[in-house]
Structure 1
Amino acid sequence: MSKSVKVIGITMGDPSGVGPEVIRKAFKKGRFASSAAFVLIGSQKLFKDIPVPVIDIPYRTPGEGALKSLERAVALVKGGVVDALVTAPLSKEAVSHYQKDFRGHTEYLARAFGVKRFDMMFVSPRVRISLVTRHVPLKNVPALMTRKAVLDSIALMDETLRRRFHIRSPRVAVLGLNPHAGEGGLLGHEDLRVIGPAIRSAQQQGIRAQGPFPADTFFVAKLSPHGSFDGIVAMYHDQGLAPVKSMYFKELVNFTAGLPFVRTSPVHGIALDIAGRGIADASSMIAAIRLACRLS
């Protein structure tokens, strides 16, 4: 039996960045579902001016504070206290001083919950896009982009659209890796030898996947506010995120597909260059909180 009120935990992220500011602005400017309750996980002194309970996290450095906030959030989810997480941005470099193999929220949470199949998905009212490879050097992408990796991302996109977004028969577009999706092998063989077979395997499993589409024209020719695809699978970080962040930055949310609970975050970083100046835009944080409320 599900709880009538869902508890959304929100981590402070890096306390020296804009995370605390956009959280405060979100609760001053945003309106959220009455069926949700909220708890902030971070330094109490940073959130004195908003009427939201805070689990105080003492720390000595920003990296330590960000990691301890995340560790407490994981414990709260595992203990059934919190139903969903919204994570404010942190510095991977700062956290790595306390956990050497730290690569980001996505990988950390997947490991904490024993999840092997997971993806970064970026969601707005007009687009849902996931990545086969995440925070890796571009030169490593072709080796990591195996048939299994591509098929797993297609299948997880299909599963997530059905389970979380309640789309009965989703259509999934798959982008090519090379210019013009390889131009029949002239500009690279991965589209023919890796992506194409993965798409056919997905189709054999009953998934309505299509592609590979040339990435340079896809977002012009195929995507619209009422586009014909419910989800898009991109091969690497900037291929997928450069166009959608350009078009939908303020409404875009990072969602982790594959976790046993809902986790969202804004799509911007800690923005140290404007931190403390009161000018950070809270739109993506507001969207992240709203999506967590809707999906949990």
Structure 2
Amino acid sequence: MTQPPLLALTMGDPCGIGPELAAKAFHSEKAYDNMRPFLVGDEETMIKAVKTTGVPLTIRPIRTADEAQFVPGTVDLLTVSSLDRDEVIPGAPTARTGQAMIEAITRSVDLALSGECDAIVTGPIHKVAMKLAGSEFHGHTELIATRTRAREFAMMMAGDRLKVVLVTIHIPLRQVIEELTSPVITDLISLTARSLTERFGVTSPRIAVAGLNPHAGEEGLFGDEESRLIAPAVEKARALHPTCTISDPMPPDTVFFKAAEGHYDAVVCMYHDQGLIPFKMVHFHDGVNTTLGLPIIRTSVDHGTAYDIAWKNIASEGSLLSAMEMAAMQARNRVR
């Protein structure tokens, strides 16, 4: 790659904190540090965001990514919607604002698929806004996976100290055991191993696998899922990836400390909060959500639309800047 990676950023839900974060991020001196970002979104909304945040930015509309100039103090904006400033009400999404949000995502995905950008960075969106716009999807991951025809994908929450990948995500806790199978766990370990090498530049990944039960089952005293489901999955993954170090099922109360101390490159977790609680303890302000298994590189902030503080110039752009940096890093490391 002869030039810095070209990143398409989406502004997220217009009624949330996304536009403010975009304005603040483009004002940061980090925005053009070894990357070339442009924004995909709505011009009137971004003009309002610049006024709300008070950052000295100029909005420069572009029609294609080729027209972007990447000048600090200027936002190259590929406009995909035509909202009126007055219809963007904090915390009150409509069908039109939801559609503008979705259009920014789909246009960015298409740019990445066609090679017109190297990665996409998505701003925060809301399930209600998706529904109001008539979408069949509940969030980014399913929408992007469907549009890119990805057959295997997973969410990784990533920071410089801790990376976690989740076997199950948004389901009730009592359903987790029903969803866990050895093949599913093996596939996720395998996807994690490939992604660490192909996107993060880790030649011999070290992967910790969290147990499901306290003390990783304590030899069956507290449950047999470790021996019955997780350990066989680990053995299969080791056979598939002989250059990787993959742990036996580890007690969940110690595995994250060891990973954060640098003993592992990622932790495969059995359910949502098992991974997200320790991750946000370490990376609450700079965590990044990245989707593994896609044919494109996609990162995102690790937080939501924060309707309660939207358009109050309170939200921090730290996670968005980290997502930009991680997207650029993955683009530089990418093995096709």
My pick for the range that moved more, 203-212 or 250-259, is 203-212
Q: Percent identity between the aligned chains?
A: 38
Where do 1:128-147 residues align within 5 Å? 128-147=163-182
Name the amino acid aligned to 2:110.
A
Q: Is the 8 A contact 1:89 1:270 kept in 2?
A: yes
For 2:100 and 2:26, the matched residues in 1 are separated by 22
Work out the CA distance in 1 between the residues paired with 2:215 and 2:126.
35
Cα gap change, 1:58 to 1:79, in 2 (>3 Å): farther
In terms of mean alpha carbon deviation, does 38-47 or 189-198 score higher? Answer: 38-47
User: Structure 2: how far apart are the matches of 1:80 and 1:234?
Assistant: 33
What CA distance in whole angstroms lies between the structure 1 residues aligned with 2:229 and 2:128? Answer: 33
CA distance in 2: counterparts of 1:78 and 1:157, whole angstroms: 22
C-alpha separation between the residues in 2 aligned to 1:107 and 1:83?
20
Deviations 1:202-240 (A, max 9, x none): 1122132102111123223x2344x21111101111110
Kept after mapping to 2: 8 A contact 1:33/1:290: no
1:3-22: CA deviations, max 9, x gaps?
A: 62432101111111011111
What's the secondary structure of 2:310's corresponding residue?
coil
The 1:134–1:30 alpha-carbon spacing in structure 2 relative to 1, beyond 3 Å, is farther
Contact 1:8 1:39 in 2 (8 A): yes
Quick one: distance in 2 between partners of 1:282 and 1:137?
31
The verdict on how the C-alpha distance between 1:34 and 1:279 changes in structure 2, with shifts beyond 3 A counting, is closer
TM-score by length of 2: 0.82
User: Normalised by the size of structure 1, how large is the TM-score?
Assistant: 0.93
Task: Compare CA radii of gyration and give the structure with the larger one.
Answer: 2
Gaps of 5+ in 2: 51-56, 58-73, 84-94, 332-336
In structure 1, which of residues 290, 293, 296 is the aligned counterpart of residue 328 of structure 2?
293
Report the counterpart of residue 98 of structure 1 in structure 2. Answer: 133
Unaligned residue ranges in structure 1 (runs of 5+) = none
Alignment root-mean-square deviation, CA:
1.7
Query: How many angstroms apart in 2 are the aligned matches of 1:61 and 1:109?
Result: 20
Distance in 2 (CA, whole Å) between partners of 1:46 and 1:34 is 26
Alpha carbons 1:146, 1:194 under 8 Å: kept: yes
Give deviations 1:126-165, integer Å, cap 9, x for gaps. Answer: 1111111122222222122111110011011111111111
- Residues 14-36 of structure 1: CA deviation (Å, up to 9, x unaligned): 11101111111111124135543
Paired residue for 2:238, among 203, 209, 212? 203
Q: CA deviation at 1:292?
A: 1.1
**1:45 partnered with 2:44:** yes
What residue is the counterpart of 1:214 in the other structure? 251
Number of corresponding residues: 293
Give the SS at the match of 1:223.
helix
Q: Residues 126-275 of structure 1 correspond to what in structure 2 (within 5 A)?
A: 126-205=161-240, 206=242, 207-220=244-257, 222-225=258-261, 227-275=262-310
**2:148: which partner in 1?**
113
Code of the residue aligned with 1:195 in structure 2: it is: I
- Structure-2 change in CA distance of 1:78 and 1:224 (3 Å): closer
